[in-house]
Amino acid sequence: MHRASHTRGGRSPASGGGWRLPATLLVLLLASWLGLRALPPAWVDEVWAARWLPPASAITAAWIDALPWSLTALAAVGWLGLAVALAIAGPGGTRAARLTWAAVALLALGPGFELAWGMGYRRTPLEGHLRLPSTPPTAADAWGALERLAAVAHASAPRDTVRVELGAEWPAAAFAAASTCVAEADALATGRPEPLRLPAGVRRLPAGLMLQGGSSGFQAPWWREPHLDGGLPPMAALAVALHEFAHAAGWAREAETDALAVLAGLACDHPDVRFAAASHALLLVRNELGRVAADEPAWRARLADTWATLPPAAHAAWSATSAAIARHRSAPITRAATVAYDAYLRGQGVTAGIADYGRAGVLVVAALAHCEDDGTPPWCVAGGAD
């Protein structure tokens, strides 16, 4: 009787109590995740972006700059290892308890995602921060933006086109300049008293790792660490780096990220960064002209004339990017990645999904057209000689 009583009493805590604590934690984590997603934009702007992001960015950027390896990869392996270890030998005594603890470790990534990154989808849009007009830009606005960007390209283009070709060295100092310029543009847009500290460089991935799926780079949400495909030519790599640095500054929606990256690059002191931003923006504005200037009888001829006068380095840079894409892209992988990312963006409240990228041209044109009313932003005076 004593032995049976001891067995019955010993099993009860293990079978009933061993999973109750992690189950409670699971419920709390899920509730906190949902609660963070429900916070209004004003709270996101005033608390998350203004108060939480600066110290968090300073810490993560310091770690990223200090380590020679990808902090994202190290953290992913470590966290996955923790979940597996909890599933195999975690506390609680029963398999159900161990699996519940493993689920706690995995679900903890959800609130962490929101605090580090997800709230960026719910902040006030960039056009609100820049006080851009609510009316869409006109064809005249787009032509004016094209001329302004062409002037920047002419003023900053490398004379030696070999520097922009596929296989040429990436200009290391230009990436640090791009990071600084994005932090300054973010501070100007948001009214920060001091620019954010962003990582000074990027992680270079194996050539083709991202390009095979139709993308060029990414930054991991929990650390906001920029990663670029190593198969990119130099100017495309700089343009992508500007985009990823803007993500690292807490801008999540793709169109706004791309637009802020362009504006930051146009205002940058480094000529390679300005040239990379102008080259990318010219393509965005060309697409926008196809939408707003289509009713003009001679718009294609006018565009072709402007395109023909652009510096040789611009055409060489675009050719190099096309060659990199042709070398690495896989149509099936690109289709699968596009479907997955489109679903992810819609899940974050971006109703246009992956088509949101196309809105970047609208924002760039609107911001440059707004220079006619307010010429103080640094991207409004870009384009002069070095």
Residue 386 included in any domain: no
| pLDDT bucket at 382, cuts 50 / 70 / 90 | low
Of 276, 252, 248, nearest to 262 by C-alpha is: 276
Kindly list the distances between the CA atom of residue 269 and the CA atoms of 194, 239, 309, in Å, as whole numbers in the listed order: 19, 15, 24
Please tell me whether residues 25 and 75 are part of one structural domain. Answer: yes
Please tell me whether residues 69 and 46 are part of one structural domain. Answer: yes
Domain end, chosen from 80, 96, 122, is at 122
Residue 83 CA to residue 86 CA, distance in Å, equals: 5
pLDDT mean across residues, the chain: 92
Domain end, chosen from 122, 144, 177, is at 122
Please tell me whether residues 84 and 148 are part of one structural domain. Answer: no
What 3-state class would DSSP assign to 268? coil
How many other CB atoms sit within 10 Å of the CB of residue 65?
15
Residue 236 included in any domain: yes
First to last CA, the chain: 93
Residue 308 CA to residue 282 CA, distance in Å, equals: 13
Total structural domains within the chain: 2
Please tell me whether residues 218 and 296 are part of one structural domain. Answer: yes
For residue 341, what pLDDT is reported?
96
Mean pLDDT across 80-87: 95
Domain end, chosen from 77, 102, 122, is at 122
Residue 157 included in any domain: yes
Question: Which residue range(s) make up the domain with 9?
Answer: 2-122
Question: 95-123: per-residue pLDDT in tens?
Answer: 889 999 999 999 999 999 999 999 999 99
Q: Are 367 and 263 in contact (CB under 8 A)?
A: yes
One-letter amino acid at 222 equals W
Please tell me whether residues 73 and 164 are part of one structural domain. Answer: no
For residue 381, what pLDDT is reported?
81
Please tell me whether residues 92 and 177 are part of one structural domain. Answer: no
| pLDDT bucket at 326, cuts 50 / 70 / 90 | very high
Residue 200 included in any domain: yes
Provide the β-strand partners of residue 229. Answer: 205
Q: How many residues appear in the chain?
A: 386
For residue 158, what pLDDT is reported?
96
Instruction: Report CA 296 to chain centroid distance, whole Å.
Output: 35
One-letter amino acid at 60 equals T
Q: Are 146 and 285 in contact (CB under 8 A)?
A: yes
Question: 135-181: per-residue pLDDT in tens?
Answer: 999 999 999 999 999 999 999 999 999 999 999 999 999 999 999 99
Backbone angles phi, psi at 331, to 5 degrees: -60, -45
* pLDDT exceeds 80 at position 232: yes
Please tell me whether residues 64 and 133 are part of one structural domain. Answer: no
* pLDDT exceeds 50 at position 220: yes
Provide the β-strand partners of residue 81. Answer: none
Question: 172-217: per-residue pLDDT in tens?
Answer: 999 999 999 999 999 999 999 999 999 999 999 999 999 999 999 9
Contacts of 94 (CB under 8 A, 6+ apart): 14, 15, 18, 19
Residue 307 included in any domain: yes
Please tell me whether residues 146 and 59 are part of one structural domain. Answer: no
Of 94, 89, 86, 99, nearest to 23 by C-alpha is: 99
How many other CB atoms sit within 10 Å of the CB of residue 295?
7
For residue 17, what pLDDT is reported?
53
Q: Which residue has the higher pLDDT, 353 or 8?
A: 353
Residue 287 included in any domain: yes
